[in-house]
Amino acid sequence: MSLKSVICEPQGQHKATVIWLHGLGDSGDGFAPIVPQLEIPNEIGVKFIFPHAPIRAVTINNGMEMRAWYDIVSFDLDKRADETGVRESSAQVAEIIEQEMAQGIEANKIILAGFSQGGVIALHLAPRLKHKLAGVMALSTYMCAPQKFNDEAIQKDLTVLMAHGSQDEVVPMFAGKQALDVMQSAGLEVTWHDYPMGHQVCGEEVMVIRNWLIEQLQ
């Protein structure tokens, strides 16, 4: 089943695409308001796609149904991401990438971004794709199955932007640092920023994201 999405079309000609995945319990509407804040120049022609995660029961929330890219069975970091769910959602997001490429957007003009759970999907999918994307943006997030990364990653020269809050109590910063270490050890080019904040995105970070998106897509 294909994912429904909130779509922000470019002002001019469509030349590039950013696919941005939300966190647990949020929806594609959650990050859509960031588009005008980013002030991406019209000539870059960026279309933003904010997919809605499927609705599923989440174990740590007493089985309550909500939008989630995968189930969370435990708060323990090594058991937090349900690998089967991560792979299923990654396949659905890969379909969106294929659709964009079918419309004539090259892989090197597509960025996969995600916050928290969405970042887990972005970090899982992009290195395993047969196409090399323009980059990956992983915010306040961690890595599913880091021990499998070296064997499964195809794209080991991807450009990655990571950002995290040093006071994040939902996804501790050391979890993001673990993902950073795994990717750097595999040879990926990862830029890291941290901010004195919790599980959120701050204004200073938005400016870093803006500059990075322009750099990767122009």
Nearest Cα to 107, choosing from 155, 63, 151, 149?
155
Tokens of 121: 């999907």
pLDDT band at 176 (very low <50, low <70, confident <90, very high): very high
Single out the catalytic residue among 26, 71, 82, 168.
Answer: 168
B/e letters for 77-103, b = 16+ CB within 10 Å, e = fewer, are eeebbbeebbbebbebbbebbeebeee
Residue 116 is among the residues annotated as catalytic for this protein: yes
Mean pLDDT score of the chain, rounded to an integer?
95
199 catalytic? Reply is: yes
The active-site residue, picked from 27, 90, 116, 140, is 116
Over 80: is that where the pLDDT of 19 sits? yes
Q: What is the pLDDT of residue 79?
A: 72
Spatial CA neighbour of 215 closest among 28, 41, 69:
41
At 205, which helix (H) or strand (E)? helix 203-217
Residue 161 forms beta bridges with which residues? 137, 191
At residue 138's C-alpha, the angle toward residues 29 and 188, to 5°, is: 150
DSSP 59: G
At 8, the pLDDT band (50, 70, 90 cuts) reads very high
Reported as a single tens digit per residue, the pLDDT across 130-156 is: 999 999 999 999 999 999 999 999 999
